[in-house]
Amino acid sequence: MDNGLHLKAVEIYRDGQPLLQIDAQVGPGEILTVMGPSGSGKSTLLSFLTGHLAPAFTATGQVVLDGYDVTSQPPEHRKIGILFQDDLLFPHLSVGANLAFGLRGGTKSERQKTIETALSDVGLQGFETRDPATLSGGQKARGALMRVLLSDPKALLLDEAFSGLDTDRRAQIRDLTFDHARKKHLPVVMVTHDIDDANAAGGQVIQLGA
């Protein structure tokens, strides 16, 4: 069985000009770090993986997840979760409703229980009815992490996910994210410009040219 995330001969073009090419295999629980200067197409690569490539870009190659080619699937069918630099908790929903938004299936009480457990897992017990805007930066990041994990993704993408946090929170949230991803055997693609992130991930590093 071909588990994990496989980027098969992926090439991305901007307005017809080659932007980047990448060929990589990320096994379950492994972290692939993609580094490069701004403009090298790091974030474009992640847009391609989630299925949100902007019209100016075209791409060839395949994205194979757990043996299935998801290249032409719409984003909502890919089961590829993503975290950005900003938490992007939906501002009109409570913290609990944000988690429920991603959660699949279950009866009402099961869902409540799952959300309660997920929140207390990351030190946010009792935060269900809170307004996301009243949370600290670290609390928001943990909320966002739990939201994506509850949606039961088969792969996780990190787009400069820790850049917005101050130095001491940063390592803590990073470790928490990596721990959860490994525990769930998720292949992870992390885009970053920070070598500390790459070192902490300890996996393969791909450098994109400008």
Site residues (CB under 8 A) for another protein?
A: 47, 50-52, 54-55, 65-66, 68-70, 72-82, 84, 86, 88, 90-92, 101-102, 104, 131-134, 147-148, 151, 153, 157
Report in angstroms how near the CB of residue 162 gets to another protein at its nearest: 16
Closest distance of CB 83 from another protein, Å:
8
Q: At residue 164, what is the residue type? A: G
Strand 57-65 versus strand 68-69 pairing type? antiparallel
Which secondary-structure segment (H or E) carries 199?
Answer: helix 195-201
Task: Please say which residue, 151 or 172, places its beta carbon nearer to another protein.
Answer: 151
Q: Which is nearer to another protein, 7 or 65 (CB)?
A: 65
* Residue carrying the six token digits 């590829």: 80
One-character DSSP codes across 91-120: TTS-HHHHHHHH--S--HHHHHHHHHHHHH
Separation CA 12–CA 20 (nearest Å): 5
Q: Of 72 and 109, which has the nearer Cβ to another protein?
A: 72
**Smallest gap from residue 209 Cβ to another protein (A):** 25
Rank residues 2 and 196 by Cβ distance to another protein and give the closer one: 2
Both structure tokens of 41: 């197409």
The nearest distance, CB 116 to another protein, in angstroms, is 19
